[in-house]
């Protein structure tokens, strides 16, 4: 029987054709569902990978595990080394989190200072500005991180800068900054990811390279280097320290301060930090109490609230906060010692197999155990530098009759971590005087650089905060300045050329050395 017999389409033919169409539709829907499920799995894997890259403890533990595997260590040693490294970073993070948490002593010190002296302005805070910016460039930042990590390893392999940057959260922060700046410069997303990733990989070896000479003096070796994007400030501190080096004997270190016999207990870092911070909390609290900040209706009335409606005495609160500050630093130092004991031996495997002579670049607290007294002195000197810098900004704005620069308040968190590290660097090159004046100048530097960067980021991420560490401002200002003259493809090519320079120059440097 013909299909179109008598000019009509038989009913059973309708059924067959309809069945075929339904089957094809089902197959298409099933194929689409499979592709959708595959895409979701791929995105889930990428998200999981990004979580590893942005979690310092897991990232460093992973590198430690790879290093131990490459050395063909027994399984039990691989497990022990991996977990001790991760636990060490978690201990360090716990100490830092305790200091900087919502009710932590470092946070409360800043709140107390600002309330007592009635200072208002923008407070540099890396976490805050990144949280705001990620609302606009989250996916781009994630891809830049991945490209940047790969670019870092390639540079460490092919250039003379053999540094693997392992401070995961700073990688995230710098990736976010690059995503914002390059996006505003007019690059497409794929251009932003490639250019941003290459620049990130470049900065991840340049920063440790800049700190390496002074780190060698601090640690007495080259097994560990600094991986932190406040390095320009630390380098400045080291250069200031050299002014006090003199021609004779080695300058007196902060760790050689001679205490009278009855005060010998101050050589204990925990005790020295506790007494110093209790003193500062009490002095500022006395001024605040006179101004009524702790009284009912005062700005800090609620900070003394306790359980069951019982209010703490502001004197007791100040003493406890100072002691809590010392406790947080103690925990940080304990975590660092645990990390150092595991990561250095584990990294030999990566150095021997993947990247010859590779060195791990770790977060700034890695310097703290080498000069604990310099940590405290550096923090206080940097904070004073921040206050002086604030005064200079007021003077500049007043002199030109307007608010040309943002009012940058001395944020306690950047001044603690960056100031303490700057103190260690200044002490390494210029002893106690180098520590004091080097950290002081660094405090001024990390006041003015965020003020300049605020001019670039303020309109993008909103008001109230900016990046607090020096390298973020340097990278943001340099790329922002280039983007004013060169747009899109020109800027894209410049980023690629900058990345390739260390690779191209490596053979030339070797032949010159030979």
Least confident of 25-29, 36-40, 45-49, 64-68: 25-29
Of the candidates 409, 483, 470, which has an alpha carbon nearest to the alpha carbon of residue 173? 470
Residues with Cβ within 8 Å of residue 9, at least 6 apart in sequence: 3
Q: Report the largest interatomic distance among the alpha carbons of the chain, rounded to a whole angstrom.
A: 120
Distance CA 112, CA 117 (A): 9
What is the mean pLDDT of the segment spanning 112-128?
A: 76
Residue 19 pLDDT greater than 60, yes or no? no
- Return the pLDDT at 108: 85
Of the candidates 448, 115, 48, which has an alpha carbon nearest to the alpha carbon of residue 295? 115
Distance CA 176, CA 203 (A): 14
In order of 238, 368, 373, 429, the CA distances from 245 in angstroms are: 11, 21, 19, 7
- Return the pLDDT at 5: 43
Q: Are 42 and 323 in contact (CB under 8 A)?
A: no
- Return the pLDDT at 168: 77
- Return the pLDDT at 2: 39
- Return the pLDDT at 6: 43
- Helix, coil or strand: residue 506: helix
Residue 305 pLDDT greater than 90, yes or no? no
Q: Are 162 and 209 in contact (CB under 8 A)?
A: no
Residue 194: band (very low, low, confident or very high) from pLDDT cuts 50, 70, 90: very high
- Return the pLDDT at 506: 79
Of the candidates 237, 273, 256, 241, which has an alpha carbon nearest to the alpha carbon of residue 421? 237
Least confident of 25-39, 283-297, 407-421: 25-39
Q: Are 129 and 180 in contact (CB under 8 A)?
A: no
| Tokens encoding 472 | 């973020």
- Return the pLDDT at 12: 44
Distance CA 282, CA 321 (A): 10
What is the mean pLDDT of the segment spanning 244-258?
A: 79
* Entry pTM: 0.76
* pLDDT, tens only, 202-220: 999 999 999 999 999 999 8
Percent of the chain with pLDDT over 70: 81
Q: Are 475 and 457 in contact (CB under 8 A)?
A: no
- Return the pLDDT at 16: 53
- Return the pLDDT at 248: 64
> Beta partners for 163?
359
* pLDDT, tens only, 441-489: 999 999 999 888 877 765 555 556 678 899 999 999 998 888 888 888 8
The more confidently predicted of residues 222 and 261 is 222
Least confident of 206-210, 316-320, 397-401, 442-446: 397-401
CA gyration radius, the chain = 28
Describe the strand order of the beta sheet including 225-226 as a list of residue ranges.
163-165, 359-362, 225-226
Q: Are 445 and 256 in contact (CB under 8 A)?
A: no
Residue 142: band (very low, low, confident or very high) from pLDDT cuts 50, 70, 90: confident
DSSP string, 316-347: HHHHHHHHHHHHHHHHHHHHHHHHHHHHHHHH
Of the candidates 140, 251, 157, which has an alpha carbon nearest to the alpha carbon of residue 197? 140
Residues with Cβ within 8 Å of residue 108, at least 6 apart in sequence: 303, 321
Backbone angles phi, psi at 311, to 5 degrees: -95, 140
Residue 73 pLDDT greater than 80, yes or no? yes
Residue in the block written with tokens 């004197």: 315
Average pLDDT, the chain: 81
Of the candidates 253, 275, 279, 254, which has an alpha carbon nearest to the alpha carbon of residue 265? 275
What is the mean pLDDT of the segment spanning 132-159?
A: 84
- Return the pLDDT at 227: 93
* pLDDT, tens only, 48-69: 776 766 676 787 788 788 888 8
* pLDDT, tens only, 74-100: 999 899 988 988 888 788 778 878 877
Residue 8: band (very low, low, confident or very high) from pLDDT cuts 50, 70, 90: very low
| Tokens encoding 354 | 């993947």
């Amino acid at each position: 029987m013909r299909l179109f017999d008598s000019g009509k389409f038989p009913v059973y033919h309708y059924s067959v054709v309809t069945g075929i169409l339904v089957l094809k539709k089902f197959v298409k829907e099933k194929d689409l569902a499979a592709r959708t499920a595959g895409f979701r799995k791929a995105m889930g894997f990428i998200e999981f990978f990004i979580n590893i890259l942005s979690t310092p403890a897991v990232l460093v533990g992973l590198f430690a595990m790879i290093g131990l595997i490459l050395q063909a260590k027994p399984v039990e040693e691989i497990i022990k080394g991996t977990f001790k490294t991760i636990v060490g970073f978690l201990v360090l993070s716990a100490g830092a989190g305790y200091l900087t948490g919502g009710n932590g002593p470092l946070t409360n010190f800043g709140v107390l200072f600002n309330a007592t002296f009635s200072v208002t302005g923008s407070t540099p805070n890396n976490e805050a500005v990144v949280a705001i910016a990620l609302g606009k460039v989250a996916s781009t930042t994630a891809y830049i991180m991945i490209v940047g990590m790969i670019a870092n390893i390639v540079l460490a392999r092919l250039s003379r800068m053999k540094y693997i940057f392992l401070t995961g959260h700073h990688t995230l922060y710098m990736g976010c900054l690059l995503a914002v700046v390059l996006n505003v410069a007019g690059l497409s997303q794929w251009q932003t990811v490639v250019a941003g990733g290459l620049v990130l990989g470049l900065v991840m070896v340049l920063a440790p390279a800049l700190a390496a000479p002074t780190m060698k003096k601090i640690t007495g070796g080259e097994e560990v280097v600094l991986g932190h994007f406040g390095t320009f400030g630390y380098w400045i501190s080291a250069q200031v320290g050299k002014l006090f080096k003199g021609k004779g004997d080695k300058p007196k270190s902060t760790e050689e301060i001679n205490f009278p016999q009855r005060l010998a207990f101050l050589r204990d870092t925990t005790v020295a930090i506790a007494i110093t911070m209790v003193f500062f909390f009490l002095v500022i609290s006395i001024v605040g109490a006179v101004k009524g900040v702790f009284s009912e209706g005062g700005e800090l009335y609620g900070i003394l609230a306790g359980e069951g409606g019982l209010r703490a005495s502001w004197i007791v609160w100040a003493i406890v906060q100072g002691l809590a500050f010392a406790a947080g630093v103690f925990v940080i130092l304990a975590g660092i010692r645990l990390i150092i004991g595991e990561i250095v031996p584990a990294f030999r495997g990566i150095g021997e197999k993947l990247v010859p002579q590779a060195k791990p670049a770790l977060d700034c607290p890695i310097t703290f155990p080498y000069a604990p007294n310099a940590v405290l002195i550096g923090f206080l000197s940097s904070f004073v530098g921040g206050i002086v810098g604030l005064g200079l900004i007021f003077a500049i704005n007043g002199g030109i009759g307007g608010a040309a620069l943002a009012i940058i308040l001395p944020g306690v968190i950047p001044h603690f971590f960056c100031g303490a590290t700057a103190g260690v660097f200044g002490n390494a090159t210029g002893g106690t005087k180098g520590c004091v004046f080097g950290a002081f100048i660094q405090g001024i530097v990390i006041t003015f650089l965020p003020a300049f960067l605020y001019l670039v980021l303020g309109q993008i991420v909103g008001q109230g905060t900016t990046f607090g560490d020096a390298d973020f401002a340097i990278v943001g200002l340099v790329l922002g300045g280039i983007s004013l003259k060169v747009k899109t493809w020109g800027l894209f090519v410049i980023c690629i050329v900058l990345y390739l320079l260390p690779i191209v120059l490596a053979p030339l440097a070797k032949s010159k050395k030979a």
